[in-house]
């Protein structure tokens, strides 16, 4: 068994380092990701390259990984550290170990050092996995039954696909902002953040964003609904645990600033909505008659400056007017090619229509990314007469 093999380790001294994970709910450090470091000649180097080097024997990597984990657990036990410990487990390693030995050494280490299982967050790392996903889920469920929490790591970076999230039902979905920013979809990474925020919310999971290096990153994390954050904006990995309130003052300052700016933005949206409500009341008298394009043209003067697109639909989803689209010069252009399209397939369409029928009032959608312009937008919709509905796309500024 690998536990009993004596294998060489990297040339320097290896030891666990701990990077804090902060809660935006409590404004405090609630846990640490345990990471491997090598100390050589007074320098501290990451063991990441060692663990990702295909030329290093896997047995040696596992041996060093197990040594680091034991040292981390021993330190937590000796210092009576009460918070969460996030540990990275490669799916291929735990799959092979359990298949061959029917044991999970990480659980054995918890028992050896007297740490409660609910203190451990098992991060299933991003890597190619050649085994059976169903069998891997059964192994992950063993950790969960013992009381461990489950996280899926580096979501959106490659191998951590949606089927893993659906299969594992993780407690925490972890995304790395640095990876998203470097990807080919950099311009749309905020949309990806929002999409995984929705997935996390619907699954009852918490969203953790790592790679938070700037205040702008922190703002994006908050707007995406992240519960936890991690990154160099707060601290690199260090050899010692830090005080839980070490970054509380900074978090309170930045969240207060974010809140103030967000409240101001939503107040501007409310002012826009009030104008549109007045517009709806004005146009209600128009009724259901008349040419739809002429009706829309008569409303364009009241559309706010961030209006991008205006059109009319019936409740069955059919667009009965042309698109009226604002160009770069601010002038409105008529696009009749979209007339006759059906938008019933849009997830928001039927709920919006039902709301407007029942309330006879306007409705402002959640933010989303426009298919044509890739800009972040919201859609305001309101009833016009008895059987038509105005849709107005607004660019978020």
Q: What is the pLDDT of residue 288?
A: 47
Separation of alpha carbons 363 and 348, rounded Å: 11
Q: What is the pLDDT of residue 285?
A: 55
Q: What is the pLDDT of residue 159?
A: 47
pLDDT tens track for 102-152? 999 999 999 999 999 999 999 988 776 767 888 889 999 999 999 999 998
The domain segmentation of the chain, as residue ranges, is 2-236, 259-395
Q: What is the 3-state secondary structure (H, E, C) of 197-221?
A: HHHHHHHCCEEEEECCCCHHHHHHH
CATH code 3.30.450.20 for 259-395: yes
Q: What is the pLDDT of residue 2?
A: 39
Q: What is the 3-state secondary structure (H, E, C) of the chain?
A: CHHHCCCCCCCCEEEEEEEEEEECCCCEEEEEEEEEEEEECCEEEECHHHHHCCCCCHHHHHHHHHHHHHHHHHHHHHCCCCCEEEEEECHHHHHHHHHHHCCCHHHHHHHHHCCCHHHEEEEECCCCCCCCHHHHHHHHHHHHHHCCEEEECCCCCCCCCHHHHHHHCCCEEEEEHHHHHHCCCHHHHHHHHHHHHHHHHHHCCEEEEECCCCHHHHHHHHHCCCCEECCCCCCCCECCCCCCCCCHHHHHHHHHHHHHHHHHHHHHHHHHHHHHHHHHHHHHCCCCCCCHHHHHHCCHHHCCCCEEEEEEECCCCEECCCEEEECCCCCEEEEHHHCCCECCCCCCHHHHHHHHHHHCCCEECCCEECCCCCCEEEEEEEEECCCEEEEEEEECC
Identify any residues that bridge with 379 across adjacent strands, giving them in sequence order: 393
Q: Is pLDDT above 90 for 257?
A: yes
Q: Is pLDDT above 90 for 157?
A: no
Q: How confident is the model at residue 54 (pLDDT cuts 50, 70, 90)?
A: confident
More confident residue, 93 or 84: 84
Fold of 2-236: TIM Barrel (3.20.20)
Separation of alpha carbons 232 and 310, rounded Å: 44
Within 10 Å of residue 275's Cβ, how many Cβ atoms?
Answer: 14
């Amino acid at each position: 068994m690998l536990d009993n093999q004596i294998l060489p380790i990297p040339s320097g001294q290896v030891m666990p380092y701990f990077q804090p994970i902060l809660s935006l709910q409590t404004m405090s450090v609630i846990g640490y990701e345990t990471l491997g470091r090598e100390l050589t000649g007074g320098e501290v180097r990451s063991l990441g390259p060692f663990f990702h080097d295909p030329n290093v024997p896997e047995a040696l990597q596992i041996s060093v990984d197990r040594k680091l984990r034991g040292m981390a657990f021993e330190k937590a036990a000796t210092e009576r550290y009460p918070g969460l410990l996030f540990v990275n487990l490669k799916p291929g390693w735990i799959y092979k170990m359990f298949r061959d030995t029917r044991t999970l050494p990480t659980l054995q280490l918890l028992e050896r050092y007297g740490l409660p299982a609910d203190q451990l967050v098992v991060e299933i790392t991003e890597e190619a996995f050649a085994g059976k996903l169903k069998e891997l889920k059964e192994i992950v469920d063993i950790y969960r039954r013992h009381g461990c929490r489950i996280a899926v790591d580096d979501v959106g970076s490659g191998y951590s696909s949606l089927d893993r999230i659906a299969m594992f039902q993780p407690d925490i979905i972890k995304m790395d902002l640095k990876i998203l920013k470097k990807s080919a979809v950099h311009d749309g990474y905020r949309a990806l953040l929002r999409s995984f925020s929705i997935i996390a919310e619907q699954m009852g999971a918490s969203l953790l964003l790592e790679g938070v290096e700037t205040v702008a990153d922190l703002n994006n994390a908050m707007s995406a609904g992240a519960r936890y954050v991690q990154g160099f904006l707060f601290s690199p990995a260090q050899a010692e645990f830090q005080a839980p309130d070490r970054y509380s003052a900074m978090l309170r300052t930045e969240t207060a600033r974010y809140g103030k700016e967000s409240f101001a933005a939503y107040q501007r949206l409310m002012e826009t909505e009030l104008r549109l409500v007045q517009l709806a009341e004005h146009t209600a008298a128009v009724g259901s008659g008349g040419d739809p394009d002429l009706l829309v043209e008569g409303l364009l003067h009241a559309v706010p400056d961030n209006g991008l697109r205006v059109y009319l639909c019936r409740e069955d989803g059919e667009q009965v007017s042309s698109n009226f689209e604002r160009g770069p010069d601010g002038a409105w252009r008529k696009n009749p090619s979209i007339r006759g399209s059906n938008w019933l397939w849009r997830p928001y369409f039927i709920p919006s229509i039902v709301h407007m029928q029942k309330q006879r009032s306007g409705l402002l959608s959640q933010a989303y990314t426009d298919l044509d312009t890739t800009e972040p937008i919201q859609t305001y919709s309101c009833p016009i007469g008895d059987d038509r509905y105005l849709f107005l796309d607004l660019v978020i500024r």
